[in-house]
């Protein structure tokens, strides 16, 4: 069976937060917005509080643990809200997503950074109290509304935006791998033509406009290039990965994340290197992988394990590979049998190409 999932409504543009009440009001009468405690206070000044539904805000710590979800669910119940919003980084969005799912009420996703393609998805990552991933929890349905304020995202550090491009870079290659192997997507079927097209368009947009968009983000100027890449990072990549499927780039990310020394690196930064390793697995030519490496460099993404903070690269490669290929891992969505040797060889070749491009 082929399946695809989407948010019900997607709104993106400068000042989009001003339309919060009006847009959320399509789905209920009383919204409770869970607001990331790390957000600059002035972000809330732009939150449209009238026009559709009534809006109350609750500042929350960015944590998505089982206890935090329980607390948030309780808070929502007591508030009498019939809509929940998560406003902030990934953890607060996932907190709202998971709590809304418990209560089976509409969810509004309001990302304030574009560091990954998670905002449009039905995936909530649940952590334990030590900040280790406990489980990937797929909620019953995708967000009813995704509200993306370009001004807010453009004002955030450009490193987040670059990381989002790294995550978006993986989408086409992973979707393509799943189509080639017949592997399933993340919504209970196999990929649709639309998912494949979204993934391909995502790659085209970031390739053409990525460098300019990052430059614009560094200068805090919302431009056409910025808007296009923002949509690619959040909407196109979101549809592409969830309805198309994931593969080796994210498996290598999971392997790299085993190492303590990379904990300061962002998801999309690790994925960006994972893409290079995925391409070596799929027998892309050196020239093609060099092109991807140069793209990564042009948008401020790493192309080597050293840049991810790994000090003893040779000794770390077997550890990364072992984790990346463990039974049930998404690397087995690739159209070839990935062994320990093959995974290590892919990492070494990606590393060598990345290093050569850095020195070029």
* SS (HEC) of the chain: CECCCCCCEEEEECCHHHHHHHHHCCCCCEEEEEEECCCCHHHHHHCCCCCCCEEEEEEECCCCCHHHHHHHHHHHHHHCCCEEEEEECHHHHHHHHHHHHHHCCCEEEEECCCCCCCCCCCEEEEECCCCCEEEEEECCCCCCEEEEEHHHHHHCCHHHHHHHHHHHHHHHHHHHHHHHHCCCCCCCCECCHHHHHHHHHHHHHHHHHHHHHHHHHHCCCCCHHHHHHHHHHHHHHHHHHHHHCCCHHHHHHHHHCCCHHHCCCCHHHHHHHHHHHHHHHCCCCHHHHHHHHHHHHHCCCCCCCCCCCCCCHHHHHHHHHHHHCCCCCHHHHCCCCCCHHHHHHHHHHHHHHHHHHHHC
For Zn ion, which stretch binds (CB under 5 A), given 165-173, 180-188, 320-328, 347-355?
A: 165-173
Residue among 267, 283, 288, 332 flagged as catalytic: 267
The stretch near Zn ion (CB under 5 A) out of 162-170, 183-191, 199-207, 278-286 is: 162-170
Q: Which of 136, 169, 118, 182 is nearest to 278 (CA)?
A: 169
167 binds Zn ion, rule: CB under 5 A: yes
Q: How many residues of this chain bind Zn ion (CB under 5 A)? A: 1
Which of 52/244 has CB closer to Zn ion? 244
Q: Does 344 bind Zn ion (CB under 5 A)?
A: no
Smallest distance, Zn ion to C-beta of residue 170, A: 6
Q: Catalytic: which of 36, 117, 167, 216?
A: 167
Stretches 5-13, 57-65, 167-175, 307-315: which one binds Zn ion (CB under 5 A)?
167-175
CB of 183 to Zn ion, least distance (A): 16
Give the shortest CB-244-to-Zn ion separation in angstroms: 12
* Residue placing its CB nearer to Zn ion in the complex, 35 or 279: 279
Q: Which residues fall within 8 angstroms of residue 80, CB to CB, at 6 or more apart?
A: 30
Q: Indicate the residue whose CB is closest to Zn ion.
A: 167
Euclidean distance between CA atoms 128 and 125, whole angstroms: 10
- 253 noted as active-site residue: yes
Considering beta carbons, is residue 167 or 227 the nearer one to Zn ion? 167
Strand partners, 190: 2
Q: Which of 250, 264, 286, 306 is catalytic?
A: 250
Q: Which stretch binds Zn ion (CB under 5 A): 34-42, 161-169, 281-289, 336-344?
A: 161-169
CB of 52 or CB of 191, closer to Zn ion: 191
Q: One of 36, 101, 149, 253 is an active-site residue; which one? A: 253
- Contact stretch for Zn ion (CB under 5 A) within 44-52, 66-74, 166-174, 182-190: 166-174
- Asked if 278 interacts with Zn ion (CB under 5 A), we say no
In the range 283-342, which residues lie near Zn ion by CB under 5 A?
Answer: none
User: In this complex, which beta carbon is closest to Zn ion, that of residue 21 or of residue 116?
Assistant: 116
Closer CB to Zn ion, 53 or 195, in the complex: 195
Catalytic annotation on 332? no
The nearer residue to Zn ion, 170 or 222, going by C-beta atoms, is 170
CA–CA separation, 41 and 54 (whole Å): 20
- Positions annotated as catalytic residues are 167, 250, 253, 267
For Zn ion, the binding residues (CB under 5 A) are 167
């Amino acid at each position: 069976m082929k399946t695809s999932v989407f948010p019900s409504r997607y709104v993106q543009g400068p000042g989009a937060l001003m339309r919060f009440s009006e847009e959320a009001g399509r789905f209920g009468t009383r919204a409770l917005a869970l607001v990331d405690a790390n957000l600059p206070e002035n972000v809330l000044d732009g939150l449209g509080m009238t026009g559709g539904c009534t809006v109350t805000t609750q500042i929350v710590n960015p944590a998505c643990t089982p206890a935090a979800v329980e607390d948030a669910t309780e808070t929502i119940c007591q508030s009498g809200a019939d809509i929940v919003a998560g406003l902030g980084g990934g953890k607060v969005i996932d907190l709202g997503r998971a709590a809304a799912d418990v209560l089976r009420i509409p969810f509004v996703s309001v990302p304030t950074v574009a560091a990954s393609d998670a905002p449009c998805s039905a995936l909530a990552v649940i952590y334990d109290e030590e900040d280790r991933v406990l489980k990937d929890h797929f909620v019953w349905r995708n967000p009813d509304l995704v509200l993306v304020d370009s001004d807010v995202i453009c004002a955030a550090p450009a490193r987040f935006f670059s990381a989002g491009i790294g995550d978006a870079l993986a989408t086409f290659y992973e979707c393509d791998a799943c189509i080639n192997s017949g592997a399933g997507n993340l919504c209970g079927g196999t990929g649709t033509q639309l998912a494949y097209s979204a993934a391909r368009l995502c790659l085209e947009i970031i390739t053409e406009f990525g460098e300019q968009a990052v430059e614009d983000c560094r200068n805090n100027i919302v431009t056409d290039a910025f808007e296009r890449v923002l949509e690619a990072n959040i909407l196109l990549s979101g549809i592409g990965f969830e309805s198309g499927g994931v593969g080796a780039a994210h498996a290598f990310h999971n392997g790299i994340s085993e190492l303590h020394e990379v904990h300061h690196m962002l998801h999309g930064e690790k994925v960006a290197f994972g893409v290079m390793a995925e391409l070596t697995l799929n027998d892309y030519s050196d020239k093609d992988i060099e092109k991807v490496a140069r793209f990564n460099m042009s948008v401020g993404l790493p192309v080597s394990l050293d840049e991810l903070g790994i000090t003893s690269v040779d000794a770390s490669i077997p550890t990364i590979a072992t984790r990346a290929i463990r039974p049930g891992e998404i690397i087995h969505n690739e159209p070839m049998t990935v062994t320990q040797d093959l995974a290590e060889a892919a990492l070494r070749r990606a590393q060598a190409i990345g290093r050569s491009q850095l020195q070029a």
